[in-house]
Amino acid sequence: MVDNEQYIQEVAKICLETVAGWKVVTASSGQEGIIKAETY
């Protein structure tokens, strides 16, 4: 989940993990998201 707002990241992460049962990795920029996606 990529978003530059920490609060949005937290809310989305909690919802997706709780409701959908997904493992969520967050990033605050597109570049960080790409790096995390490549290493995850």
pLDDT digits (tens, 9 = 90+) for 17-27: 999 999 999 99
Is residue 3 pLDDT above 90, yes or no? Answer: yes
**8 Å CB contact between 7 and 22:** no
pLDDT band (50, 70, 90) for residue 40: confident
Is residue 16 pLDDT above 90, yes or no? Answer: yes
- The whole-number pLDDT of residue 33 equals 96
- Would you give the end-to-end CA distance of the chain in angstroms? 13
- The whole-number pLDDT of residue 5 equals 95
Q: Cα–Cα distance between 38 and 13 in angstroms, integer?
A: 19
Q: What is the mean pLDDT of the chain?
A: 95
